[in-house]
Amino acid sequence: MMKVATRRPGTIALAESKCKTSLGVIAYTLLIVVQSASAQDVESSNAKKEATTPKITTLQDIKVTAQKKSESERDVPISMSVLESDTLLNTGLVRLSDYYAHIPGLSINDRGAGRATLVIRGISAGPELNPTVGLSIDDAPFGSSTTDYSIPDLDPFDIDHIEVLRGPQGTLYGASSMGGLIKFAMASPSTDRFGGRVQSDVSSVEHGSMGFAMRAAINIPLTNNLAVRVSAFDRHDAGFMDDVAQHRKNVNEGHAKGGRLSAVWNAGERFTVRASALAQNVWTGSTTRVFMQGDSYTPLYGPYAHARLPGTDTANIRARMYTVQMDGDLGWANLTSVSSYSQYRLIGPQDATGTFQGLIESLYGVSDAGAKVINNNRTGKLTQELRLSSPDDGRMFNWIGGAFFTHERTFGLQDITAVAPATGADLGLDPLYEGLSPSTFKELAAFGNLTYKFTDQWDVQGGGRFSSVRQRFSNAYSGPLNGGDTFDDERTGDHVWTYSFGPRYHFNANVMTYLRVATGYRAGGTNTVFLQDEGKFPTRYTSDSLTSYEWGLKSDLADHKLTLDAALFYISWKDIQLSAISTVTGQNYFVNAGGAKSQGGELNLAWHPLHGLTLSANTAFTDAVLTREAPSGTYGKAGDRLPYSPRWSAYLSADYIYPLTASLNGNLGGGMVYVGDRQSSFTSSASVPRFDLRAYTTAELHAGIQSLDWNVNLYVKNLTDAKGYLSAMAQNVATGVSSYGLAVIQPRTFGVTATYSF
C-alpha cells in the first residue's frame, strides 16, 4: 500500500484552481470549436479517424534532420537516439532529468535552481564552463556559447521528437557541440486538416504533494496553402523536499507554463515559409539538494530535507524563441534561410551562509547573519544561417554549403549580501561583493559537406567549417570580498577549423556500417584583472578542441522485426578548459589544462517477437579520464575520471499493444534504468575529496486504453522509490559543518494522463 505523506493544507485546491483558470478556458473553447468543425466537415472527420488509428511504429519510420536534411535515421552515419514526445507525455517524463537516462551516453549534472550541465560520452570538465553539448530548436541554435546555464527544458507537448547526436558536430553546428547535440524537432502546422488535442495529467509523489498539468493544441488550415498551429500548457510540479529551518514542506514545488504559435505558408510550388514564436516560464521553489555529513551518505536533516534561507535556492526561468525559416527549390539546388532570435533569463538566489557567515561577523560585527547570493543571468542570441544543398534525387555527387552568423549578448549579475536568517530580509549593510559581467560573442562561419557515391552501396562523406570568433568581456567588481573596486575590459578572437570525414557502406538495403572522424571545439575567454594582478594567473584561456574516431553499424533485420545499432568510439581532447581556485583570493579562474580521452561504445536493440510486442534495450560504456595532471588550483591526476560520467548505463523496456475491441486498444509496458557510479567535479586540492555518486536503478510501469479519439494512461515512475543523486557540491552549511549537497531524483510517482484528439 502506498504511504500517503502529510501535505500542506490547500496545495491540491490551489493547483486545481491554477489549472482551471489558465488552460481550462482554452480546453473548453477548443471542444466547442471541434464540435462545430465536426458538424460541418465529414471528410475531415474521416481523415481524422485514419490519422488517429493506433499504429505500431519502429525507429526506421522516423525522419530526422541531423544532417540538416530530412532522411531516415537508419541512413545517418552518426550514433544517435530519437525520443518521441507522445511516449514521454504518456509516461510522465516531461523534464530532462526524467528521461536523460533513457539515452545511452547522455548524463546530467543537475545542480538545481535552473543550473544543469549536459554530458555526452563523458566530455565535461565540470560546471560553470562553456558548454560541450549543443542545443537547437528545429534548425536554430539556442543558448549561450559561453555559459552552461541556458538549457531550455521544454515541455514535450509541442515537440514532435527529440534527436540526440553523440560525438562532435562542429562541422554543421559550430561551437559548443564538441560532445554532441540535442535537437528539439517541433510539431509543424499542416494544411491538410483541422484538428488538435487536449491533455490533462494528475500525479502524486511519495513523501510529497500532487502535480497537475493541462495542455492544448489546435491546427487550423486557413487556406489550401496557409495553416497555423497554437499550443499552450500549464503545469504544476509536485514537491517532496522539506525545509527544517523554514518549517515548510514540499518547498521544491514548481510551476511551468508556456505556449507556441507556428505557421506554414506554401507561397508556391517551390517556396515555403515557416515561422514560430515560443515562450516558456518556469518557477521552482527550491532545489532538491540533500546535505550529507562530510563526504558520507549520512543526511544532516533527513533523506528529503535541507535547511536554507527564506527566498533562496529558487529559480525563475524565462525562455523565448522566434524563428523564420524559408525554403526554396531553385531546380539545381535547394535554398534554405533560418533566422532566429532567442532570450534566456535565470534569476536564482542562493544560500551561502555557511561560506560567508564568519566574514560578515568579522567585517560588520554582526553575528548569526545569513549570506545571500543574488544571481541574475540573461542571454540574447541572434542567428542567421543561409545554405544551399543539392537536390535529393539519387545523384552520385551530393553537397551542402552555407554561411552562419551569430551575435550573443550575455549579462551576469552577482551580489553577496548579509540578510536576516529568519526572514531573508536584507540587513542594509554594504554588499560583501558586487559583480557585473556583460559580454558579447560573435561567430561568422562558412561550412560545407560533400558526399560522393562510388557505387549504390559505398559512399564517402567529408565536410569542413571555418569559424571566426570575436568576444568582448567586461567585468566590474567591488566589495571587501573582492579587495576593492576593479574593472576589466578585454577583447579576444580566434579562428577555428573543424572537419568531419568518413566512408559509409550498405551491405544491403537494411544493413549499413560507417567510419567517422570528426572534430569539435568551444570558444575560450578571459580572466579578471584582479586575478591578473596576482602575477601568476593567465589573462586568457584559449579554445579547446577534440578529435573523435567512431565506427558504427545500423541494421534492420528479420523482416523488420529486429533492429540493432552499435558504435565504438575513441576521443582525444586537448587544452581542456578547467575551473581553478586561487589559493590567495579564493576566486575562480579558468585555465587550459592538458588533455583527456574518452573511449567506449553504445548498443541499441529493438525486437518485435510478436505482433504488438516491442522489447528494447540500450547500454553505453564510457571510460573518460584525464591523460595529464591538472595544473595548480585544480586537483586532478592522470587517470582520474572526468566529472559526472558513468562507466556503465543501461535502459531496458517492454511494451505491448493489444486489441480490446474493434475500436479500442490496450497497452501495457515497463522499463528499468541503470545509471552507474560517477564522480563530482575536480576540486582545488587533494585535501578536498571528490564525491563518489553511487549507482542507482529505477523502474517504470505504464498501462492504458486507446480509442480513435481518447487515450488514457496510468504510469508509475521510480517504482521502488530508489534514491539516486545527480550532482554533488562541497560546501559549509549554516551550522558550520562541512558537507556535500546532493541533488536527489524524484521519489516514486503515480500518475494518470488523459488525451482527447480531434
Who contacts 472 (Cβ-Cβ below 8 Å, separation ≥6)?
Answer: 439, 440, 489, 490, 491, 492
Q: Across-strand partners of 491?
A: 472
pLDDT at 111: 77
5 assigned to some structural domain: no
Tens digit of pLDDT for each residue in 464-523?
A: 999 999 999 888 889 888 878 888 888 888 899 999 999 999 999 999 999 999 999 998
| Rounded Cα–Cα distance for residues 44 and 274 (Å) | 24
List the grid coordinates of 146.
Answer: 559561453
Instruction: Answer yes or no: is pLDDT of 665 > 60.
Output: yes
Q: Across-strand partners of 451?
A: 398, 461
Tens digit of pLDDT for each residue in 571-589?
A: 999 988 887 776 665 667 7
Nearest to 719 by CA among 666, 669, 678: 669
List the grid coordinates of 278.
Answer: 515560443
Instruction: Answer yes or no: is pLDDT of 405 > 90.
Output: yes
Instruction: Answer yes or no: is pLDDT of 606 > 90.
Output: yes
Mean pLDDT value across residues 354-362: 87
Given a contact cutoff of 8 angstroms between Cβ atoms, the answer to whether 205 and 749 are in contact is: yes
Mean pLDDT value across residues 75-102: 93
pLDDT-derived band at 358, boundaries 50, 70, 90? confident
Side chain identity, residue 284:
T
* Cα distances (Å, whole numbers) of residue 439 to 136, 141, 343, 378, 384: 22, 19, 15, 11, 20
Name the 3-class secondary structure at 98: helix
| Rounded Cα–Cα distance for residues 272 and 648 (Å) | 45
pLDDT at 747: 97
Given a contact cutoff of 8 angstroms between Cβ atoms, the answer to whether 150 and 130 are in contact is: no
* Cα distances (Å, whole numbers) of residue 22 to 214, 216, 445, 755: 9, 11, 43, 18
Tens digit of pLDDT for each residue in 178-219?
A: 999 999 999 999 999 999 999 999 999 999 999 999 999 999
User: Which residue range(s) make up the domain with 622?
Assistant: 11-757
3 assigned to some structural domain: no
* Cα distances (Å, whole numbers) of residue 562 to 132, 405, 559, 657: 33, 43, 8, 17
Who contacts 203 (Cβ-Cβ below 8 Å, separation ≥6)?
Answer: 92, 210, 211, 212, 238, 749, 750, 751, 752
Q: Please tell me the total number of residues recorded for the chain in this structure.
A: 758
The secondary element (H helix, E strand) that includes residue 130 is none
Instruction: Answer yes or no: is pLDDT of 22 > 70.
Output: no
pLDDT at 583: 61
676 assigned to some structural domain: yes
Instruction: Answer yes or no: is pLDDT of 14 > 70.
Output: no
Tens digit of pLDDT for each residue in 692-715?
A: 999 999 999 999 999 999 999 999
| Rounded Cα–Cα distance for residues 373 and 344 (Å) | 20
* Cα distances (Å, whole numbers) of residue 181 to 163, 171, 194: 8, 12, 34
Task: Give Cα 258 to chain centroid, integer Å.
Answer: 17
Angle, helices 42-52 vs 24-40, to 10°: value is 120
Domain count, the chain: 1
Dihedral sign computed on CA atoms, order 728, 730, 735, 737: positive
90 assigned to some structural domain: yes
pLDDT at 529: 56
List the grid coordinates of 383.
Answer: 542567428
Mean pLDDT value across residues 272-285: 96
| Rounded Cα–Cα distance for residues 372 and 363 (Å) | 16
Instruction: Answer yes or no: is pLDDT of 2 > 50.
Output: no
pLDDT at 737: 63
Weakest-pLDDT range from 148-152, 524-528, 605-609, 632-636:
632-636
6 assigned to some structural domain: no
| Rounded Cα–Cα distance for residues 644 and 124 (Å) | 8
Instruction: Answer yes or no: is pLDDT of 31 > 70.
Output: no
Q: Mean pLDDT across the chain, nearest whole number? A: 87
pLDDT at 534: 53
- Which of the two residues, 732 and 220, has the higher pLDDT score? 220
pLDDT at 33: 34
Instruction: Answer yes or no: is pLDDT of 10 > 60.
Output: no
List the grid coordinates of 750.
Answer: 503515480
pLDDT at 38: 39
Given a contact cutoff of 8 angstroms between Cβ atoms, the answer to whether 184 and 164 are in contact is: no
pLDDT at 742: 93
| Rounded Cα–Cα distance for residues 39 and 32 (Å) | 11
User: Which pTM was predicted?
Assistant: 0.89
| Rounded Cα–Cα distance for residues 410 and 439 (Å) | 5
Name the 3-class secondary structure at 49: helix
292 assigned to some structural domain: yes
Widest CA span in the chain: 81
Residue 484 phi, psi (nearest 5): 120, -165
Task: List the CATH number of the domain containing 46.
Answer: 2.40.170.20
32 assigned to some structural domain: yes
| Rounded Cα–Cα distance for residues 99 and 670 (Å) | 14
List the grid coordinates of 162.
Answer: 527529440
Nearest to 328 by CA among 337, 317, 319: 337
Tens digit of pLDDT for each residue in 409-456?
A: 999 899 999 999 989 999 999 999 999 989 999 999 999 999 999 999
Given a contact cutoff of 8 angstroms between Cβ atoms, the answer to whether 383 and 435 are in contact is: no
